[in-house]
Amino acid sequence: MYGKGFSQHLLKTISNLNIGVREGEILAVAGSSGSGKSLLAHAALGILPKNAVIEGGMAWRGAPLDAALHKRLRGREIALVPQSVAYLDPLIRVGRQISNDSQTVGRLFARYHLKPGTEKLFPHELSGGMTRRVMICAALAGGPKLVIADEPTPGLTPHLAEHAMRHFREIADGGAGVILITHDIDLAVRHADRIAVLYAGTAAEVADASDFADAALLRHPYSKALWAAMPQNGFVAAAGAQPYAGELPPGCLYAPRCPECSPECMAAPPQPRSVRGGEVSCCNAH
Amino acid sequence: MKRLNRRTAAAIGSAAMLAIVLAIYIGGAMIPDSALQADFSQRGLAPSATHLFGTDFLGRDMFARTVKGLSLSLAVGAAASAMAAIIALAVGVAAAMGRSAVDHAANWFVDLFMSVPHTVLIILIAIALDRGAAGMMLGIALTHWTGLARVIRGEVLQIRAQQYITASRGFGKGSLWIARRHILPHVAPQFLIGLVLLFPHAIMHESGLTFLGFGLPPEQPAIGIILSESMKYISSGMVWLAVFPGLSLAALVLLIDRLGNTARRLFEPREAQL
Amino acid sequence: MRIEVRDIVFGYTKGKKVLDGVSLSIEAGERVALVGPSGCGKSTLSQIIAGALKPESGEVLFAGKSLPRRGFCPIQLIRQHPEKAVNPRWKLGRTLAEAWAPDDSFLAAMGIEKAWLDRYPAELSGGELQRFCIARALAPETRFIIADEISTMLDVITQAQLWELLLHAASSRGLGILAVTHSERLAAHVSSRIIDFTPHMP
C-alpha cells in the first residue's frame, strides 16, 4: 500500500493463519474490520490483487491449491455469495446470469421457492429477499463443494436474515463446505458449526459454536472478551483496540490487551495448538 | 537502482511534460521578430543542421516559425480554456446548488450549446468579433464549457448529499461556509484537470480555424497560417513545410492530453488504480 | 426540554409513505430505544427528528418550539457509517473543530489519541472514527443524541466500548438519548424505555 507521499511499503495483514473447512459444515470467520476476514475470502477464491505477497499455501482436498487449480475451481467448485445486489448485471435477465442451462435454473429456482418466470426478470425487478435467493442460486449453479458467503446479512430484516442462514444450512447439508464471513459474532454463534475468531490477521481461536454458550468453554482471552461484550452476556467492554497491520507487536498480537499476558507472550507469536477439541493461538490457554 | 512506484513515475512524468510545454511557450515568446525575417538567399531549403525544419519560400527558418506558432497557440488555448473552465465552474455550481429552476435553465443552456456544431459556432462568433484572437478565444470558450459544467454539476450534487454536509449544517454552518470549505476543495482537482484537458481542444480549434482562414489574421505567426501557406508548396515538393509544423502541433496536443490524464490519475488515485 | 414528534408523514417516492403519522415524545435526559427491522423507516425518522430532513407534514418540537433553522442543532444525530459522516479530505482534528473545541481531558475520556487528530479518516478504523463522531456530537449546546445504529457494523467489543462512553457522557451531562437499533438485546441494555417501531410492512 501507499504511505505518506510517494512511499510504498509492504503491509503484513495476515500472519500465522491456519484455518480449514470441512465438507458439510458452516465455518464462520468472525472478526472486526481490519482482522483480515475479507482478505481470507479473497485468498480462498484466488482473487488477491497482483501486488499481494503470499507465503504459505492452501490445499484443496489434499492437493495444493495453486493459481491453475484456482482458475479451474473458481465459479464452479468454489463459489462466492456476494454481499450486495451490485454483483448482478442490471442489463441481463437473471436466469441467464445463473446458468445457460434452463433445467439447472428451473431446478434451483424451485428449490429456493422462486416462481417460474422469475428467470425472465431483470435484477431491479426483484425484491431484496428474491435477490438474495437469486445470488445463492447463482453460486450453486456450478455444483460447488465450497461456498463463501461474504457478510450476507447486513441490511436484511431479521426474518430475511434467518431465511438466508437457513439456505446456507441447506447448502452445507447438501455436502458442501460453507465459509460464512461476518463481523457479527452473534450471527456466527447462532448459525455456524465452528467459528474461527480472527484478530489482527491471525486466527485467535477456532472453536465449536457451542463453546460460545459459556466463557469457560472458550480458550483464547480475546474470544472470552468477545463473549463478555455481547449484550446478553453483560455488555462488558474490554479496553484497547486491535493493532494495525504495520504496527503489530512482536509477540502475541493480543498481548498488549490481554489480562493474562505473561513475559513469554511478548517474546514470540504463539503457535496454534489443540486445546479441548479446538485450535487456539495462546500460550496460556488450557 | 530502486524501482519507481507508479505514483512517483506519474509525478515525474507530469513535471517533465509540463516543463516541455512551458519551454515551448517561453521559447516561442523569446524568439525575436528578426529571426523570422525573410532572407531570400535561404529560400526553400530542405531540413538540415542549420535549419532543422528547413526554410520556406521567403527563406524564413521553419523551426523558429513553428515554435513561435505553437507558443501563440498555447497562449490562445490557455486563455480560451481558462475562460471555458470558469464558465463551467460558475454554471455547474449554480446548477447544483441553486433552486431547481436554475438547474433547469443551466441544463437547457448546456443542451443548447451542445446541439450547435462547434466549428460553425466558433466561426460565427469569430467573424462577429472581427476575426481577431479575442473572437477566437471567446468562440472556443463559449463552445467548450458544456462538458465540464456537467461534470462539475454532478460532482457538486453528489457531494452535497453526503452525510458530512448534513452533519455540518447540524453544527450551525451556513451554505456559503459549506461551499467554501467542503465543496470547492473537492471540485478543485476536477476543475484543474478539466481545464488542462480543454487545452488540446482549444489549440486544435484555433489552428484548424486559422488554417481555414476564419481565425487569426495572416500577419500573425500562427501555426494554422503556417500550415495553410505550406499547403501551396506541397505539390512543388517542399513537403517539410507542412509535415514538421503539422507533426509538432499533433505532438504538442497529444502531450497536453497525456499530461491531463496523468494528472487526473495523480489527483484521484483510487479511481484510476494508481 | 422534551422532544415531541407529532404526526410525521414522509415518503421518498410519491404515493409510498415510509412514515405515515408517527408520533412520540422523549423527556429531557431520558433514554429511549427505537427498535424495529431494517427498512422500516427508523433512519428516516432519526433524520427528521434531528432536522436533517424535512417531513411532508407533521412537526418536531423541542422545548415546545420547532427546531432553529440556523445555528447549532441541540438534537445531534450520530449515524451508522462514520466513514461517510466525516469529510475524507479533512484531518480529524479539523473535523472535530468544525463542531466545537473539546479540551484534552474530554478527548482522553472519549478514548481519542492525540495523534489521531493529525490523521485522515482513511487511516483510522470504523470504531475509532465513530469515537470522533460521538465526540463532536457531544458539544456543549447538545441536549439530545440520536444514535442511529451506531455500532451495527462494528464488532461487539467496540460496540460495548462506544456505548459505555456515550452513556457515561450522557448521564454526567443529563443528555437524552434516542437509541435506534434492530437489536432488542442492545436496546434493553442502553435504554429505560423501548418503542417498538414495526409499522405496516408490506
Counting Cα atoms < 13 Å in the Cβ hemisphere of B63 gives 11
Which residue numbers of A have CB closer than 8 Å to B's CBs? 2, 6, 8
Nearest CA in chain A to B10: A6
As a whole number of angstroms, the distance between CA A46 and CA A40 comes to: 10
pLDDT attached to residue B273: 42
Task: Determine, for residues B167 and C77 on separate chains, whether the beta-carbon distance falls below 8 Å.
Answer: yes
**B272 falls in which pLDDT band (50, 70, 90)?**
very low
Closest Cα in chain A, distance from residue B7 (Å) = 6
B40-44, B260-264, C94-98: range with lowest mean pLDDT: B40-44
**C201 falls in which pLDDT band (50, 70, 90)?**
very low
**C187 falls in which pLDDT band (50, 70, 90)?**
very high
pLDDT attached to residue B149: 93
pLDDT attached to residue B274: 42
The architecture of the domain spanning B6-31+56-272 is Orthogonal Bundle (1.10)
Position C180 pLDDT exceeds 90 = yes
A29-46+64-192 falls under which CATH superfamily?
P-loop containing nucleotide triphosphate hydrolases (3.40.50.300)
Position A267 pLDDT exceeds 90 = no
As a whole number of angstroms, the distance between CA A81 and CA A122 comes to: 18
What cell was used for B131? 476575426
Position A209 pLDDT exceeds 90 = yes
For range B16-33, the mean pLDDT: 86
For range A158-182, the mean pLDDT: 88
Question: Smallest Cα–Cα separation from C169: which of C24, C31, C27?
Answer: C31
**pLDDT tens column, B137-196:** 888 898 889 989 999 999 999 898 899 999 999 999 988 899 889 998 888 888 888 888
pLDDT attached to residue B269: 52
As a whole number of angstroms, the distance between CA A183 and CA C3 comes to: 34
Closest Cα in chain A, distance from residue B5 (Å) = 7
**pLDDT tens column, A241-263:** 888 877 888 889 999 999 988 88
Position B270 pLDDT exceeds 80 = no
Residue with cell 434451483: A108
Q: How many CB atoms lie within 10 A of CB C167?
A: 18
Please report residues of C whose CB lies closer than 8 A to that of B171: 72-73, 98-100, 136, 139
Task: Determine, for residues A6 and B269 on separate chains, whether the beta-carbon distance falls below 8 Å.
Answer: no
pLDDT attached to residue A115: 86
Does B169 reach chain C within 8 Å, measured CB to CB? Answer: yes
Position C77 pLDDT exceeds 70 = yes
Does C79 reach chain B within 8 Å, measured CB to CB? Answer: yes
Closest Cα in chain C, distance from residue A130 (Å) = 15
Position A138 pLDDT exceeds 60 = yes
**pLDDT tens column, B222-247:** 888 888 888 877 777 777 778 888 89
As a whole number of angstroms, the distance between CA A182 and CA A185 comes to: 7
Domain covering C3-196 in this structure, CATH number: 3.40.50.300
Helix (H/G/I), strand (E/B), else coil: C18: coil
Q: CA C197: distance to chain centroid?
A: 17
As a whole number of angstroms, the distance between CA B185 and CA A16 comes to: 43
What cell was used for A121? 426478470
pLDDT attached to residue A199: 93
For range C135-144, the mean pLDDT: 95
Question: Smallest Cα–Cα separation from A242: which of C156, C80, C92, C109?
Answer: C156
Q: Which chains touch A (3 or more CB pairs under 8 A)?
A: B, C
CA distances from B218 to A21, B24, B59, B213, B224 (A): 79, 22, 17, 8, 9
Question: Smallest Cα–Cα separation from B62: which of B221, B253, B251, B234?
Answer: B221
Helix (H/G/I), strand (E/B), else coil: A3: coil
Task: Determine, for residues A231 and C185 on separate chains, whether the beta-carbon distance falls below 8 Å.
Answer: yes
Which residue numbers of C have CB closer than 8 Å to A's CBs? 37-39, 125-128, 152-161, 163-164, 182-183, 185-186, 188-189
For range B87-94, the mean pLDDT: 90
**pLDDT tens column, A105-119:** 998 888 888 888 888
**Contacts across the A-C interface (CB distance below 8 Å):** 68
Nearest CA in chain C to B184: C89
Please report residues of A whose CB lies closer than 8 A to that of C188: 231
Please report residues of C whose CB lies closer than 8 A to that of B168: 98
Window 125-144 of B: residues touching C by CB (8 A cutoff) are none
Helix (H/G/I), strand (E/B), else coil: A7: coil
**Sign for the pseudo-dihedral over CA of C184, C187, C189, C193:** negative
Question: Smallest Cα–Cα separation from B245: which of B53, B75, B34?
Answer: B53
**pLDDT tens column, A80-133:** 888 766 778 888 898 888 888 888 899 888 888 888 888 898 888 887 778 878
Closest Cα in chain A, distance from residue B156 (Å) = 24
**C60 falls in which pLDDT band (50, 70, 90)?**
very high
Window 5-44 of B: residues touching A by CB (8 A cutoff) are 5, 7-8, 11
Mean pLDDT, chain A, rounded, equals: 86
